[in-house]
Structure 1
Amino acid sequence: MVKPALHAAAFVERLPRRPYCTDDPAQGLLIRPQATALAYRHIQHNPPPHVACLVFDVDSSDGYEAWKDAGLPAPNWITFNPKNSHAHYGYYLEAVVARTSAAKQKPLRYLAAIEHVLAKRLGADMGYAGLITKNPVHGDWWTIWHHAEPFSLDYLAEFCPDADLAAYSRRSRKEVGGLGRNVTVFDNV
C-alpha cells in the first residue's frame, strides 16, 4: 500500500505554480503561490493550458460509493466533506490534454465526451465548473487515496458505452457539456 504522503506529493506535483484557492467559493477566489494555496480548503487542480486531472463533484450522502455503484475504476483520490459526505473524485490523466487556442480539437472533444459520460454515470453535478476542487491535503476534508497511477483516456473510454459517447457528440448545444459549464457557455454563444 502506498503511503498517503506519496499520494499527496503526486497531487501537489500536478498543481499550477500559482493556483486559484479559497476557503469559501462564495467569497471569491485568490491566486497564491502553490505553498500558500495548499493551506486553503479549495484549490485549482489543473494548470490553465491543459487538463491533467478530471474531477467530479458528487453531491450525495453516499458520495464514496458512487464509483462502485457505477462500475467505474477507483479514482486516484476521493475527498469528502465530513458533515454531509459530498465528495470530489480525482482521476489523474496519463497524458495531459491541451486546452489553449492552439490545442487540437479532437483530443479535447474526446476528453469532454468521456468526462460527460463518466459524470452522468457517477450522478455528479453536471454544472460543476471544474476550476477548483476540495483540497485533498487540507485537514477539513477526509481524503481516501486509492492509487497514484494515472489513467489513459482510452482506458476511461472503456467505461463509456459507445452509444453514450455518440449521444454526447449529437447533444443539443443547450445541454451542459463536458469540461464544465464554461464549455457550455462557449458552445451557446
Structure 2
Amino acid sequence: MYAIKQIDPTDWQNVSTLAQFYADLATNPYCTNDKGFSHIRTKSHAIKHAYIQPNRPNVCRWLVFDIDDSQALFTYHDKGLPRPQVIIKNPENGHAHYAYKLTTPVGEGGKSSIKALKYLSSVQHALRLALGADRSYGGNLIKNPCHNAHMVYITGAKPSYELAELAEHLDLQSPIKTDVANDYGYGRNFSVFEHVRHQAYPLAEMHSYSALESVLTGIANEYNQRFDEPLFPNELKHIVRSIARYCSKKDFTASHKAFSELQRARVTKRWGDNTDKQKQALEMYQNGVKKTVISKELGVTAKTLTRWGLRKMKK
C-alpha cells in the first residue's frame, strides 16, 4: 500500500498534483492570510497566500472538505473511503482539509446540466457525512497546499476521480437538509441556480440582456443572504450571467413562447376558453361578491377562482 508522503509545499511546481491545483485556479481567485477577510488577486500573487479559492466561480474541479479531528490525516483510511489527492494539515491541532480532484468538471450556470449539478451536490453531501467533515464549511477557501503555513501530503491516489467512482463508496440516499440557511457546499450553488432560473424564464421576453441580468442579480443577492455562509459575489455573478445569456437567446425565447402557446392550447382544448368568465369573476369579486356566489353563478370551482387570482385581489 502506498504510504502517505509529506511534501515541501514551496516546491509545488515540481509536484504534479499541486501544479495541477495551480493550473485549475481562477485567473483572479480570492485569497487571504487572515480568514476574517479575503480579497481578489491574480493567481500568481494569490498562490503566495495561506488560504485560497480552490475552484473557478463557474465550475467545480476540486471537492474540498474540512475535518476537525486531531487524527484527520488518517480519516479516509479509517473509514474505508477513497483517498484524496491532497491533504493539507494544520500543524498545531492536526485538523485538515481534504481535496479531491474531479476528472470531469461540473459547471454551474445556464448551459450547465441541472442533473449534473444536482449529482455533484449529492456526492459532496454524502462524502462530507462519510468523512465526518464540518457541515458548515462551504469550500470557498481552502488551506493553500502551495503555502508553507501548512503541512501538505499526497496520498498516492489516482490523478482524479469521476463522481460515479466516489459515489460507489457512498450512501447517496442520505437526506439533504432543505433549510436554505443551513445549505452548504454545492447545495448552495444548486439552490441559487434553481431559484434564479425559474424566475428568469418568464422575465426573459420582457427584458433586454442587460436589464435581465440586473433583475436577476437582485434576486440572486437576496436569496444568497439566506445562507449561513453566502457564496462569493463573483460566484453569483457567473451564475446570473450564464442564466441571463441562456434566456436571452432567440431560440430560447421562441421555444418558451411556443411552449406557453402549447400549454394554453391544451388548457383551452380541455376546459374551453374561460377568458370572459375570468374577467367577469374578477369584476364581481372587486365589487364585493363572495367567492361562493361567483362559483355558483359561473359554474366554476373555488380552486379555479383562486387560480384566476381572486384570493390575491381580496380587499
State the number of aligned residues: 183
Task: Map 1:26-105; keep pairs closer than 5 Å.
Answer: 26=36, 28-105=37-114
Structure 2 unaligned spans of 5+: 8-13, 196-222, 227-315
What is the alpha-carbon distance in structure 1 between the residues aligned to residue 102 and residue 178 of structure 2? 26
Match of 2:30 among 17, 20, 33: 20
Q: Deviations over 1:141-167 (max 9, x none)?
A: 000012461100110000113xxx123
What is the alpha-carbon distance in structure 2 between the residues aligned to residue 103 and residue 179 of structure 1? 17
Kept in 1: contact 2:59–2:107 (CA 8 A): yes
SS in structure 1 of the partner of residue 128 of structure 2: helix
Partner of 1:182: 188
What is the alpha-carbon distance in structure 2 between the residues aligned to residue 22 and residue 15 of structure 1? 15
What is the alpha-carbon distance in structure 2 between the residues aligned to residue 149 and residue 8 of structure 1? 11
Partner of 1:140: 149
Higher strand share: 1
Structure with more relative contact order (C-alpha pairs < 8 Å, separation 6 or more): 1
What is the alpha-carbon distance in structure 1 between the residues aligned to residue 68 and residue 187 of structure 2? 17
The percentage of counterpart residues that share the same residue type is 32
Query: Displacement of 1:86 after TM fit?
Result: 0.9
Kept in 2: contact 1:116–1:177 (CA 8 A): no
AA aligned to 1:166 is Q
Query: Displacement of 1:137 after TM fit?
Result: 0.8
Partner of 1:167: 174
What is the alpha-carbon distance in structure 1 between the residues aligned to residue 74 and residue 186 of structure 2? 23
Question: Cα 1:71–1:177, aligned 2, differ >3 Å: closer, same or farther?
Answer: farther
Kept in 2: contact 1:21–1:43 (CA 8 A): yes
What is the alpha-carbon distance in structure 2 between the residues aligned to residue 59 and residue 118 of structure 1? 15
Partner of 2:255: none
The alignment's C-alpha RMSD in Å is 2.3
